[in-house]
Chain A
Amino acid sequence: MNRTLTKPFTDDMVRPVMNTTVWFWAIVLATGTVVACGAAAWAYQLWYGIGVSGKRWPTFWALYLTNFVFWIGISHAGTLISAILRLVNAGWRRPVTRVAEVITVFALMIGAMFPIIHLGRPWLAFWLFPYPSAREIWPNFRSPLAWDFFAINTYLTGSLLFLLLPMIPDFATIRDRATGWRKKVYGTLSFGWRGTTKQWNRLESAMQIMAIAILPVAVSVHTIVSFDFSMANVPMWHSTIFGPYFVAGAIFSGIAALIIAMAALRKALGFEKYLLPLHFDNLGKLLLLMSILWGYFVFNERLTVWYGNEHHEMAVFWATQRGQFAPLYWTMVVCNFVVPIAILSNPYTRNIVGCVIASCGVVVGMWLERFLIVVPSLNHKALPYAWGNYTPTPVELYIMAATFAAMILLYTLFAKFVPIIAIWEMKAGDFVHPPQQGIGAGDPHRIDTAAAPSSTGAVS
């Protein structure tokens, strides 16, 4: 018996599905209340008009669009990281992939809500669909918002498939252990999975295809989100750096969200045996790299604007650098650059607690970055006569708080109904993962790497 993962592992994974704890109900109740408050705030806004938010002339985009960009950024945690780790066959990815992919799907669903919440007439949002109608008009394909609509829908569809495909064998595992209505539900969800060699081969090749296909989609999504800003001739928006800057920021905030989620799951579900310090160490290194990359982009963006000294842009530049927005700007720099580098560049502080502290800083800092992109530019457009000053209202803050609660709620529900660590992938790593294979070497769950048993085919 060379395997390190045996029956207790599957039990550990299936336990949250079968047993419901008091904590589950407490979290659902608490976050559900906040979500309900946010829904009420949105209903209030729908009834009275978008004027109950703080948006004004000339700051027509503000907190909702900030949250839109922020959540789409968070969504780059999962699918992108998971796909890269799959393609390079990194052995340590196995307990991380699903934790990450779920963040993508939920963050995308939440992020995609914001452009609709933000619309003046959200009940007409479906006009962005190109469908033959009595209006006899297509969406305007020259508009970056139309590109956005298609990019986000493509990414959401792809991410959903990427998440759902590898869940099928795990649904079958639960089906085989469950009784009553659970057996029925999970039986339907497992699409008749029997674990034949043919089915495994199909799943593996489908995952390979998805992992390759999702990468360009993920990169293009946040590039197109950045085009919403960089295509408009607004001071400090109209910049060629925005595409890569947004993608790097998205992956940066995504890794931070992933680390926080992993630490929470580790504590909440008792997964100390599976989510190891090694995973945090590896992701911490990745976060450190992205932090340096982020600092590089900000330096580039700021230096060229300052040196170019174009007077429309300088108004925005100084407002963020040493004016009204300076406290937020320097908080962002500390949270995104100083704190992560201080904590993560030192192997002694790059432990689980250190990674979580740095990640919390990054999430705050990246939210501020999105805010500082959207608002100061619109406050200071080219005509000084038409400058304005935006302040958020309670309605906007309620809705924003509700989306954070919604993320926790959806995540809790998901971890309740689906094994949050891919059972079969862990087992496959244990069984057939050849040791010392490139980047994939060093699977932390293997103890005996010398005598790997030959593939036994079905693992369920």
Chain B
Amino acid sequence: MPIPESYKLKCDYCIPQRYKHMALTSRKQPNIPACNIKTVPGDMTERGCAFAGARGVVGGPIGDCIQVIHAPAGCAWYQWGTRRNLSAIYAWAEPNKLCNDSHNRRRAITTDLKEKDVIFGGVKKLRDACLEAWRLIPGAGGILIYTTCTSGLIGDDCHSVAREVEAEIGKPVFVIDSPGLCGVSQSTGHHHFNVQFYDQMVQYRKRHPEVCMKEEEKTPYDINIVGDFNMDWDLALIKPLFEKLGCRIVCVFTGGERMRNLLKMPDAKLNVLHCQRSCTYISKLVEQGYEVPYVPVSLFGIEQSAKALRDVAKFFGSKEMMDRAEQIIEQEIKTITPALNFYRAKLEGKKVGMYVGGPRVWHWPKVMKELGMKVVFAMCTFAHEDDYEKINARQEDGVFIIDAPNEFEIEECLERFKPDLFLTGLKEKYLARKFGVPTVNSHSYERGPYVMFRGSINFARDIYQGIYAPVWKFTKDKDFM
């Protein structure tokens, strides 16, 4: 159903092609806005590039690899220690001392392409750079090479370099070919990483069967957590609950994980899939290639976390595990009820606007409901149709949704819907504050972890702090307007 006239934002009067990106949710007959299509140039989009999706989101959290950016220095610099995808793996700073920051966030490693390289090609430079990085940062589990606009356009054959370097260092060297300008948003980069990593993993396992898990090491309850990137140590709350349930976690794709564990991904019995935008691709590939099924879960909020535990228990079909799931859920709810009640009383009836990449817009409506809050509008940077189906299903009816919103549309929505809080990212949060609307950083969190039962209290607290910060009352003094 096209968006009703009254919902057509004024700021888009001269780019009416944006109106097809807007819709009102409906549970009966889902309204899917136009999505995952080209951005309107010059519309002040908030979208990023494919490289950001590949290197920043999916590859960045890998804990023990040397990640070489084949580009001028800028692309590596922008990826250096920014997103708070944390890891427990640290390189050595000196004897008896580990680095201050986890390995995946500690350094920016690049071929620093120059004009000369652009003209004559950067293949040799890339090869040398990989081997040198290997000698300067000893102990890594492998190398990931990323191409960017520059190396993609000059057409360097990075795969041949990877094969050479791999032969020399004896560890996996994978190429992630996802130049910034391919695809419509960072979502393309997620896709590229999934498919290319999977292909190279399959090949590597064939060449080196010793990296696969041995039959005798396997257990019937081996799972992977797929699509969690360990923002603010979410995994400190996710892993223990699945372990309590009786599962053994083979690997996390990719939060803080080691390459040698990632290579065992196909050896598990089940993939528990959290981020269903960025990691469904690899889950499907592993299912097709190795007959390992996956179960999609949401790990935010009480109802969804409970459902995730139940679904995993149900998959294994063990009565014991199902009983354990119920015990865990009961116990967890008990531990957070007093704090949750406190926040619920404060947040009941508050209006919230949401703008995240994609999945969190459907992960979180239930969480908002559990806090008594009402979603007044929802936006996604790079969601696809399946995301919007879930958004339609999980939001109340009639919530205004915008695909790939731009700065002006965000401003107009803040003014029009007057939310008490805006769940959004780093760039947009400062914009919202200029309009007097509090925000919670919904990408890297304010002070996480936010997942599962215990994390939901941190989330609730940050929302509460946003709405109840004393600063907002001063902004409304008419004498100073």
A and B bind: no
